A and B are shown apart, each in its own frame.
Chain A
Amino acid sequence: MAKMTMVQALNLALKQEMAQDDSVVLLGEDVGPDGGVFRVTDQLIDIYGKERVIDTPLAESAIVGMGIGMAIHGLKPVCEIQFSGFAYQNFHQLENHAARMRWRTQGRLTVPMVMRAPYGGGVRALEHHSESREAYWAHTPGLKMVIPSGPRNARALLVAAIRDPDPVIFYEAKGLYRAFREEVPEEEEVMEIGVPQLVQEGDDVTFISYGAMLRPALEAAEQLAAEGINVEVIDLLTISPLDDRLLIESVKKTGRAVIVHEAPRSFGAGAEIVSRLLEGAFYYLEAPVQRVTGYDIVIPYFSREKAYMPDTARIIKAARATLNT
């Protein structure tokens, strides 16, 4: 196994899926010779040519809209949007067509496509280039919303997303692109979409997180372990459709939960998770569920970004609030 960054792992997923399935096609701005803004599609044009690695004009709604048409006609398009904040330009194509084609036609037409986009903060950028608005997509029935947390699961989930018969929104934490390396097997590895993962077992409190926030959650858990507090950590991986069974089982055991995401607090994924926990584990709760999130503001410019992003200190404080220590 080779040690890879998330960018390399994603590139491997695309390269292998394109090799084994001629219907997989990439399209987006600068995905060709430039290899994408973050080089995720690096050199793929050299292998598969400009017919299958399509450099498009700057036209997000046409990129995604074309993807829908291509999918209906039998291809498996993977559309790259340069930053998730640019996807508001193509929101209408996903919301109006991709998400509802299967339902509206009772399965007679389907849209197996992927929209990949880098999301999230921590790279000293600003606004559209740093934000985390997965809730928009998660709120739309018919779309699947997937956010990996590291190179290995990013590769395995992207393969699953490309093979998935439904439209998948695939958010890649740009702060993780080159943050660390993981062993990624050269041979095929696929994870199932819709299945959260138990990352670490513990009895005292459950941390639920995803994407780039998994790492501070794990760091906080490690610091608490030094005090004898055992944290259970769950990586959501798929935001929607949300499988809450693992979450509920965990909280039944620990009686306490902290949800961590960098998206704004109100109406975010955390709010839905709290509801699910109340529905499924209310009588097991020992303390109110805590949310550590971004704030209900535009993500600030680099100079003040740190104050916005959840960090280990805030997570530990929230954990202590549930433990009353």
Chain B
Amino acid sequence: MTTPIDKNHATKLLRQMLLIRRFEEKSAELYSATKIRGFLHLYIGEEAVAVGVMAALTPEDAVVATYREHGQALARGMSADSIMAEMYGKLEGCCKGRGGSMHIFDSSTHFYGGNAIVGGGLPVAVGLALADSMLGRNRVTCCFFGDGAVAEGAFHESMNMAALWKLPVLFLCENNLYAMGTAIRYTQAQPDIAAKAVGYRMKSAAVDGMDVMAVEAAASKAADHIRQGNGPYLLECRTYRFRPHSMFDTELYRSKEEVEQWKAHDPIEKLTRRLSDAGLLNDQDRAALEQDVAREVESAVAFAEAGTWEPVENLTSFVYSERREL
């Protein structure tokens, strides 16, 4: 990079990635301790994608994410407290304990899930963008999805319609090379995901998803393109998940060597090195960040622990807008 690094901004990115990493390490512990149930899909290794992309969005933009969305939710600015409490199933969570790990929603940050269904959020994102466009609001809807979702029909329907109508959608593919346990070479006739945009006459690019600054730059370029009224954009972030798919994954589909090779590209260590090489971060700074993040995670756990369960008699509420007296 020839442009100078903005120290404050870069430190903020580093802190967000650290927060996601430590939050999720803690979540894994809490899962094993059966404090968190449901399923748990960790984002560890992919932090640069969520953090880089969110840095390119405005607070008015909308975000649709996947079931591996703790990172997006934290990077979007949702409180660790409300996310942790949600994973605990407590009333103090963002969905008051009904959504769980895979269904994190927050209308105040325009964070529309959290979605257990692979590819399920894509058409919804196109609808959010269509509404914005009809209501004359210059906003971007950023839709995260994995390489697995690219095999779903909804991906193609959504890409086609967004391009046909020039809708402000940022299609954000987090390509971590595996659709759960199946490598992309076994699932895609064209494994170059960015290349798929050609068929929809859509602009696209691929970026190193382990480099947060590269992701931010690529996402900003994509968002600018969209905001200028040029229609949607497909950005493929090439990344890697260091942990198993979920907490029940024997990982027979990849070698330990491969995982180790990717860990050498750890996005947090990469940014740390870059900042210290530039003289913008020393060991004490990093340690201070770690402490700060650890406090935030501990406080989120305490918040979730102190929370309350939804009374069982409440479970029939919010099925419909109101119940006629039956």
A joins B in a complex: yes
Residue interface mask B213-226, A partner, CB < 8 A = 1: 00000000000000
With most chain B CB atoms within 10 A of its CB, the pick from A59, A105, A195 is A105
In chain A, residues 51-82, which have Cβ atoms closer than 8 Å to a Cβ of chain B?
51, 56-57, 59, 61-62, 64-75, 77
* Closest Cβ–Cβ distance, residue B112 to chain A (whole Å): 6
Contact A73 B319 (CB under 8 A): no
| Known contacts A61-B123, A75-B131, A92-B120; A104 and B160 CB within 8 A of each other | no
Q: Does B164 make an interface contact (CB < 8 A)?
A: yes
Q: Does B244 make an interface contact (CB < 8 A)?
A: no
Contact B95 A104 (CB under 8 A): yes
Stretch of B99-107, B179-187, B275-283 contacting A (4+ beta carbons < 8 Å): B99-107
Q: Does B128 make an interface contact (CB < 8 A)?
A: yes
Stretch of B15-23, B26-34, B151-159 contacting A (4+ beta carbons < 8 Å): B151-159
A102 to B317, alpha carbons, bound, how many Å? 9
Number of interface residues of A (CB under 8 A): 45
In chain A, residues 63-116, which have Cβ atoms closer than 8 Å to a Cβ of chain B?
64-75, 77, 92-93, 96-97, 102-110
In chain B, residues 103-147, which have Cβ atoms closer than 8 Å to a Cβ of chain A?
103, 105, 107, 112, 115-117, 120, 122-132, 134-135, 141
A107 to B319, alpha carbons, bound, how many Å? 9
Q: What's the interface size class on B, roughly?
A: 35 or more
Report the nearest B residue to A111, measured CB to CB.
B124
With most chain A CB atoms within 10 A of its CB, the pick from B105, B124, B135 is B124
Residue interface mask A170-201, B partner, CB < 8 A = 1: 00000000000000000000000011000000
The residue that B127 contacts in the complex, of A59, A67, A110, A142, with Cβ under 8 A, is A67
* Closest Cβ–Cβ distance, residue A266 to chain B (whole Å): 25
Q: Does B326 make an interface contact (CB < 8 A)?
A: yes
A61 to B290, alpha carbons, bound, how many Å? 45
A96 to B118, alpha carbons, bound, how many Å? 11
| Known contacts A103-B98, A243-B326; A64 and B123 CB within 8 A of each other | yes
Report the nearest A residue to B129, measured CB to CB.
A69
Report the nearest B residue to A52, measured CB to CB.
B134
* Closest Cβ–Cβ distance, residue B10 to chain A (whole Å): 34
* Closest Cβ–Cβ distance, residue A57 to chain B (whole Å): 6
Residues of A close to B141: CB separation below 8 A:
69
Residues of B close to A68: CB separation below 8 A:
123-124, 127
Contact B130 A245 (CB under 8 A): no
| Known contacts A66-B161, A69-B128; A75 and B134 CB within 8 A of each other | yes
* Closest Cβ–Cβ distance, residue A214 to chain B (whole Å): 22
Residues of B close to A110: CB separation below 8 A:
321
Contact B326 A69 (CB under 8 A): no
Contact B153 A61 (CB under 8 A): yes
Q: Does A256 make an interface contact (CB < 8 A)?
A: no
A97 to B131, alpha carbons, bound, how many Å? 17
Contact A65 B98 (CB under 8 A): no
Residues of B close to A144: CB separation below 8 A:
320
Residues of A close to B248: CB separation below 8 A:
none
Contact A62 B132 (CB under 8 A): no
Residues of B close to A243: CB separation below 8 A:
324, 326
A142 to B122, alpha carbons, bound, how many Å? 21
Contact B134 A108 (CB under 8 A): no
Q: Does B196 make an interface contact (CB < 8 A)?
A: no
Report the nearest B residue to A112, measured CB to CB.
B321
Residues of A close to B107: CB separation below 8 A:
105, 108-109
Residues of B close to A71: CB separation below 8 A:
127
Q: Does B253 make an interface contact (CB < 8 A)?
A: no
With most chain B CB atoms within 10 A of its CB, the pick from A66, A70, A106, A194 is A66
| Known contacts A59-B160, A61-B157, A194-B324; A103 and B123 CB within 8 A of each other | no
* Closest Cβ–Cβ distance, residue A193 to chain B (whole Å): 9
Contact A104 B161 (CB under 8 A): no
Residues of A close to B153: CB separation below 8 A:
61
* Closest Cβ–Cβ distance, residue A70 to chain B (whole Å): 4
Residues of A close to B122: CB separation below 8 A:
65
Q: Does B263 make an interface contact (CB < 8 A)?
A: no
| Known contacts A62-B161, A75-B131, A105-B99; A96 and B120 CB within 8 A of each other | yes
Residues of A close to B125: CB separation below 8 A:
69
Residues of A close to B323: CB separation below 8 A:
241
Q: Does A30 make an interface contact (CB < 8 A)?
A: no
A96 to B122, alpha carbons, bound, how many Å? 13
- Chain A positions within 8 Å of B, measured between CB atoms, are 25, 51, 56-57, 59, 61-62, 64-75, 77, 92-93, 96-97, 102-110, 141-142, 144, 164-166, 194-195, 241, 243-245
- Chain B positions within 8 Å of A, measured between CB atoms, are 62, 95-96, 98-99, 103, 105, 107, 112, 115-117, 120, 122-132, 134-135, 141, 153-154, 157-158, 160-161, 164, 317-321, 323-324, 326
Q: List 7 A-B contacts (CB under 8 A).
A: A62-B158, A69-B141, A73-B131, A96-B117, A103-B98, A104-B99, A105-B95
6 interchain residue pairs of minimum CB distance: A65-B123, A69-B127, A66-B127, A73-B131, A62-B157, A59-B157
